DNA sequence: GCAACCTTGACACGATCGTGATAAGGTTTG
DNA sequence: CAAACCTTATCACGATCGTGTCAAGGTTGC
C-alpha cells in the first residue's frame, strides 16, 4: 500500500485515530483512499499532521480556528467581507456632523420608547 | 454625553446590552468610556455593530471566528505560522524517495509495537 | 479462514461558547 | 433624593467542540 494506514499514522504523528478522522472532517488533512476506502497517509500528510500539532500548541489556537483560516483563504467572498468589515470607515453623508447624527439617533430612541409604552 | 449609552446602542443596533459587552470582550468593538466608566457608542461603533451583524448572518460565521480573524491580522507571528502551514511542502531530504521514507516509517511503527509488547 | 485491521455511525462527557438573568453597588438626572 | 440608568461579577442553560469508546460490518494478510 502506498501510504500508512490510520493507526500507523496515529502512532507516528501523535494524533489518535479518532482525531485524524476529525482533522479530516475539518477539511485540514484529507489523505488518499485505497480502493476499499482505507485512508492512506503519505509523507506529506504525516509531515503536515506533525506541524499542525506544533501550530496549535505553539499559538494556543484550535482546529476550528485553522478550519476558519482555511475557509478564509478558499472563500473569496468571505475573505473580502471580513476584510471590508475590519477596514470599514463610517459611511454616512459627510455633511451631517456627529453631533447632529447622534441627536437623531437619540430621538429615534425616544420615539421607540414612546412607542413601547403605549 | 458624546455618544449613546449601552442600552441606547442596543436599541439602535439590535444587539442586546449583554451581547454588546460580549462583543467588546472579543475585542471587536471597544467604545469610548465616560469619566465614570460608562460605555459611549459613537456613530462609527454603531455602524460597525450593524454591519457586524450582517457579516455574521450573511456568512454563517461566529463572533469567535471574527475574533480569530482579528488575531490573524494583529499577530504577525500567528499569521505567518498559519500561512506557512497552509503552504508547507514536504521538507525532507530530496534524495530519499517516498518509498524508502515510507518503509522507514513503517519499520519505526513496528519497533514501537515491539517495544509496547514487552 | 480467521485475526487484525479498516470503515461509518452513534452515544457520552467535560470544556467552552453564546446568551440571559440577577445581584451589589456607583452615576446621572429631573 | 429617588428613579432610572450604568458598572462588574456570577450563575445558568442549551449548543457546539474535542475526544474517547463502542457497535456493525467490510478488507487484508498469513
> pLDDT for A28-84, tens place per residue?
999 999 999 999 999 999 999 999 999 998 998 999 999 999 999 999 999 999 999
Q: Name the residue among B50, B46, B42 with its Cα closest to residue A99.
A: B42
Q: Which three cell numbers stand for residue A60?
A: 494556543
Residue A99 sits in a domain of what CATH number?
A: 1.10.1660.10
Comparing CB atoms, the residue among B48, B69, B101 nearest residue A82 is B69
**How would you classify the pairing of strands A32-33 and B32-33?**
unpaired
Taking the C1' atom of C4, which residue's CA lies nearest? A7
Its pTM stands at 0.82
Contacts of A51 in chain B (CB under 8 A): 85, 88
CB pairs A-B closer than 8 Å: 109
Phi, psi of B40 (to 5 degrees): -125, 110
H or E element at residue A113: helix A98-116
Domain count, chain A: 1
H or E element at residue A83: helix A76-87
Q: What is the 3-state secondary structure (H, E, C) of chain B?
A: CCCECHHHHHHHHCCCHHHHHHHHHCCCCCCEECCCCCEEECHHHHHHHHHHHHHHHHHCCCHHHHHHHHHHHHCHHHHHHHHHHHHCCCCCCCCCCHHHHHHHHHHHHHHHHHHHCC
When pLDDT is averaged across residues B77-102 and rounded to a whole number, the result is 70
Domain of A105? 1-118
Indicate the burial class of B51 (C-beta count within 10 angstroms; 0-12, 13-18, 19 or more): middle
Partner-chain contact A108 B12, CB within 8 Å: yes
**How would you classify the pairing of strands B39-40 and B32-33?**
antiparallel
Q: Has residue B116 got a pLDDT over 50?
A: no
Round to whole Å and give the CA distance between B46 and B9: 7
**pLDDT-based confidence at residue B118 (cuts at 50, 70, 90):** very low
Higher pLDDT, A98 or A42: A42
Tell me the pLDDT tens digit for each residue of B47-82: 999 999 999 989 989 999 999 999 999 999 999 999
In sequence order, the 6+-apart residues with CB closer than 8 A to the CB of A79 are A72, A73
CA atoms within 13 Å, Cβ hemisphere of B2: 8
In sequence order, the 6+-apart residues with CB closer than 8 A to the CB of A101 are A92, B43
Place of cell 472532517: A25
- SS3 at position A56: helix
Amino acid at each position: 500500500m502506498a501510504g500508512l494506514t490510520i493507526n500507523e499514522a496515529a502512532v507516528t504523528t501523535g494524533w489518535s485515530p479518532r482525531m485524524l478522522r476529525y482533522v479530516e472532517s475539518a477539511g485540514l488533512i484529507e489523505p488518499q483512499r485505497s480502493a476499499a476506502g482505507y485512508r492512506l497517509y503519505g509523507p506529506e500528510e504525516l509531515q503536515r499532521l506533525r506541524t499542525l500539532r506544533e501550530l496549535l500548541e505553539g499559538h494556543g489556537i484550535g482546529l476550528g480556528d485553522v478550519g476558519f483560516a482555511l475557509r478564509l483563504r478558499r472563500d473569496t467572498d468571505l475573505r473580502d467581507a471580513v476584510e471590508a468589515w475590519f477596514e470599514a470607515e463610517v459611511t454616512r453623508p459627510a455633511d451631517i456632523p456627529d453631533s447632529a447624527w447622534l441627536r437623531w439617533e437619540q430621538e429615534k430612541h425616544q420615539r421607540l420608547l414612546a412607542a413601547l409604552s403605549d
